[in-house]
């Protein structure tokens, strides 16, 4: 299949690489051209403009946030340059409001739109083991299914309304953030009594919380391994904000979202810009003055 791919961060690069490996004819574009070099070495074509990347049957995109998606697809006129019948697969985690706006904008131009955000970190993307949440018209999803299968281990259908996939991703990230915050606070408590984060989390993630989310992030917290960031803390802050906005729109109280937002904001205020969001553990430790005590 002739495919375009826009957005070559850690996730996008891995996903596009798997499309190339699966035998698809992939053309890539990225705002920073340096990021296209590894894909070019694998056999992908490099487009000089987004419009040139959108000449295939399908255009995939993995951009950072609402502002980037809006700038590339709506403000730049890219949708107007795409041929009717093309399908756009948006893998970004975006707001419910923008998901609805994009669906309408695509429909007016006769362009298919599939919201397909993913669960998984860059290592899972590289291994083609992402869980992909997909929503859109059945025909559009059928068209892009071979691409989704090349990038993930399972596709989770969420119906035709694209915002359903977006809110599923937002809610899932909200749950991950709560797991990280609970481990951050709990390890601060145990450390205050001389029990190391590693010892405590080994018990918890081997028994009561023996699940991938707790085990993966628990290991990062135990090892204080917050760089390189698999999921940068600013993106976590963004996603909790998306959860709050979606909740407000539907009048769904999310009391704990405010706690998470403040913890993430505190981390950002402390200069933690380029760390993984599991670095919420540093915030909990600072609040308890554990570093001052020199505890484990």
Residue 293 has pLDDT above 70, yes or no: no
Pairing type for strands 58-61 and 45-46 reads unpaired
Residue 291 has pLDDT above 80, yes or no: no
Q: What class, spelled out in words, does domain 2-160 have in CATH?
A: alpha beta
Residue 295 has pLDDT above 80, yes or no: no
Mean pLDDT of 1-19: 98
Mean pLDDT of 21-27: 98
Q: Tell me the three state secondary structure of residue 8.
A: coil
Domain boundary assignment for the chain? 2-160, 167-293
pLDDT of residue 52: 96
Mean pLDDT of 10-28: 98
- pTM of the predicted structure, to 2 decimals: 0.94
- Contacts of residue 256, Cβ cutoff 8 Å, sequence gap at least 6: 178
Q: Which DSSP symbol is given to 90?
A: E
Residue 292: pLDDT band by 50, 70, 90 thresholds? low
Q: What digits encode the pLDDT tens for the residues 129-140?
A: 999 999 999 999
Q: How many CA atoms lie within 13 A of 16 on its CB side?
A: 37
Question: Residues with catalytic annotation?
Answer: 169
Q: What digits encode the pLDDT tens for the residues 36-55?
A: 999 999 999 999 999 999 99
Q: What digits encode the pLDDT tens for the residues 184-205?
A: 999 999 999 999 999 999 999 9
Q: What digits encode the pLDDT tens for the residues 41-97?
A: 999 999 999 999 999 999 999 999 999 999 999 999 999 999 999 999 999 999 999
DSSP H helices, the chain, are 10-21, 37-42, 50-53, 66-69, 78-81, 96-108, 122-126, 138-151, 162-192, 197-206, 212-223, 233-250, 255-269, 280-287, 290-293
pLDDT of residue 171: 98
Mean pLDDT of 214-228: 97
Q: What class, spelled out in words, does domain 167-293 have in CATH?
A: mainly alpha
> Are the C-beta atoms of 12 and 118 separated by less than 8 Å?
no
Mean of the per-residue pLDDT values of the chain:
96
């Amino acid at each position: 299949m002739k495919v375009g791919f826009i957005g070559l961060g850690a996730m996008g690069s891995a996903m596009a690489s798997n499309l190339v490996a699966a035998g698809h004819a992939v053309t890539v574009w990225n705002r920073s051209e340096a990021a296209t070099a590894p894909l070019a070495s694998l056999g992908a074509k490099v487009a000089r403009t987004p419009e040139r990347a959108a000449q295939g049957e399908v255009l995939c995109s993995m951009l950072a946030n609402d502002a980037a998606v809006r700038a590339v697809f709506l403000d730049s006129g890219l949708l107007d340059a795409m041929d009717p019948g093309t399908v756009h697969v948006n893998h970004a985690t975006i707001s419910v409001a923008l998901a609805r706006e994009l669906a309408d904008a695509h429909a007016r131009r006769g362009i298919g739109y599939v919201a397909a955000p993913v669960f998984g970190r860059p290592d899972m993307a590289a291994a083609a083991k992402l869980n992909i949440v997909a929503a859109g018209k059945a025909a559009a999803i059928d068209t892009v299914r071979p691409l989704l299968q090349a990038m993930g281990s399972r596709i989770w259908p969420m119906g035709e309304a694209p915002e359903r996939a977006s809110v599923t991703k937002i809610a899932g990230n909200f749950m991950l953030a709560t797991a990280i915050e609970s481990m951050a606070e709990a390890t601060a408590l145990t450390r205050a009594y001389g029990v190391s984060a590693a010892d405590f989390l080994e018990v918890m993630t081997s028994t009561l919380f023996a699940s991938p989310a707790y085990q993966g992030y628990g290991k990062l917290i135990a090892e204080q391994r917050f760089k390189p960031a698999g999921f940068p803390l600013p993106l976590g802050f963004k996603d909790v904000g998306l959860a709050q906005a979606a909740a407000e729109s539907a009048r769904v109280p999310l009391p704990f979202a405010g706690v998470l937002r403040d913890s993430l904001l505190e981390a950002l205020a402390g200069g933690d810009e380029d760390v993984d969001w599991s670095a919420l553990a540093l915030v909990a430790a600072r609040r308890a003055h554990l570093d001052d005590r020199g505890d484990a």
